[in-house]
Amino acid sequence: MQVTLPIPSLSRPKLLFCIPESGIGSFSRHYFEFDFVRDIASYVICLCKLECRNIYKKSDPRHMKTNKHKRKVCLFCRIWQILIVAAMPAIAVPAVFAQSSVIAPGAKVELLASGFKFTEGPACDKAGNVYFTDQPNDRILIWSIDGKLSTFMEKSGRANGLSFDQKGNLWACADENNELWRISSSGKASVIIKDYDGKRLNGPNDIWIRPDGGVYFTDPFYKRDYWKHQKSEQDKQCVYFLDPKRNKLARVADDLRQPNGIIGTPDGKILYVADIGAQKTFRYNIQKDGALANKTLFCELGSDGMTIDQEGNVYLTGKGVTVFDPSGKRIEQISINAPWTANVCFGGKDRHTLFITAMQNLFGLRMRVKGAGSQ
């Protein structure tokens, strides 16, 4: 009798159990196919529906129909049922938990490149190449999809956070003169934003571009030794929104202590902002005009940089990489061999590699999940 669970296969490993069944003058067999990721309760239900053919001549095993006869199971079947149910947690539970990790099975953090002064702002282009900054050395580098390192741009305005728009332009938080740049694929830079309300910005730090081209960026104040000015000209450290037509720059969050990391969902409906000064990350609903509504606490942790995967999990940085599911539950902690982890993004040809900038290094980690968007 072939018994299969009604849930469609997910192309994961299966076991075929062969169970002897007593019959008159011969032996017949039960075959059971189990998909490891299915609920254990379903296995038990399936096993409990075992019926010997010599008792249920009229039953239809394909649909597990029952009849008015009292259920009976032969001794051999009962023994096999007990053994399989007893072994199921040891077989199935580890497989279920293994599949729940965002990290690919067996993957380890790898050092891809080192020798920089301080790496930041990774962002992925459409091909999967990852651009990142070596801020003190004032340059933007590329880690290509074939694993080669090259320099994209020197004199990059001491770029910090990066993000690509839909047209392939690279946007950079140019910290040297507190500006927001747009850089073409050829390396030509244009200053898009240099002030707010006629006053110098604090220092654009991290950036996210929503699907329609609207730009969000954080503007905390971190005193730099290469600045000539000593104090901030802005009265607050805020989150700003630049509309898709580049006509208006607006403050959309002005009640944070020190906003830093920022990321949005691929559908452009949710924005996450890390207040590293308060060690909290908040979630907002994005309005059509760029305004933010319904501010809620996402998690009790700040972050330098952020990214998101296609399952909606949010990645925060600082002491390694901490991963939260969409509800704000911590689900993974990725240790990095560096005193500070600055930023992260997904990249590679299939977007299944997490790229991590940490101090003088660039790391990579193969992931089960796939990244969403440029970051």
Distance between CA 346 and CA 363 in Å, rounded? Answer: 12
- Cβ atoms of 299 and 313 closer than 8 Å: no
Percent of the chain residues past pLDDT 90, beyond the cut = 71
- The pLDDT score that the predictor gives to residue 13 is 41
What mean pLDDT comes out for the span 312-332? 98
For residue 313, what pLDDT band results from cuts at 50, 70 and 90?
very high
- The pLDDT score that the predictor gives to residue 56 is 39
Inform me whether the pLDDT recorded for 164 exceeds 80. Answer: yes
- The pLDDT score that the predictor gives to residue 375 is 76
Amino acid symbol at 295? K
Residue of 34 and 299 predicted with greater confidence: 299
38-42, 78-82, 189-193, range with the lowest pLDDT = 38-42
Inform me whether the pLDDT recorded for 330 exceeds 70. Answer: yes
Cα–Cα nearest to 116, from 144, 136, 93, 145: 136
Contacts of 100 (CB under 8 A, 6+ apart): 331
With 0.85 as the threshold, say if the pTM is over it.
no
What is the full DSSP assignment across 221-264? ----TT-S--S-SSSS-EEEEE-TTS--EEEEE---SSEEEEEE
- Radius of gyration over every alpha carbon of the chain, rounded to an integer in angstroms: 28
Inform me whether the pLDDT recorded for 11 exceeds 80. Answer: no
- The pLDDT score that the predictor gives to residue 228 is 87
Hey, how many other C-beta atoms are within 10 angstroms of the C-beta on 327?
9
Q: What pLDDT, in 10s, does the model give residues 255-284?
A: 999 999 999 999 999 999 999 999 999 999
Report the Cα 158 to chain-centroid distance in Å.
27
The helix-helix angle for 40-48 and 75-100 (nearest 10°) equals 160
CATH level 2 (architecture), domain 110-366: 6 Propeller (2.120)
Q: What pLDDT, in 10s, does the model give residues 285-296?
A: 999 999 999 999
Listed by start position, the domains of the chain span: 2-100, 110-366
Beta strand segments in 97-230, E: 110-114, 119-124, 130-134, 139-143, 149-154, 159-164, 170-174, 179-183, 189-193, 195-196, 199-200, 207-209, 215-219
- The pLDDT score that the predictor gives to residue 14 is 39
What Å distances lie between residue 250 and 177, 238, 239, 293, 296, CA to CA? Answer: 20, 10, 9, 14, 21
Distance between CA 127 and CA 145 in Å, rounded? Answer: 8
For residue 90, what pLDDT band results from cuts at 50, 70 and 90?
low
Inform me whether the pLDDT recorded for 39 exceeds 80. Answer: no
Distance between CA 313 and CA 311 in Å, rounded? Answer: 6
Inform me whether the pLDDT recorded for 43 exceeds 80. Answer: no
What mean pLDDT comes out for the span 343-368? 98
Inform me whether the pLDDT recorded for 103 exceeds 60. Answer: yes
- Cβ atoms of 323 and 330 closer than 8 Å: yes
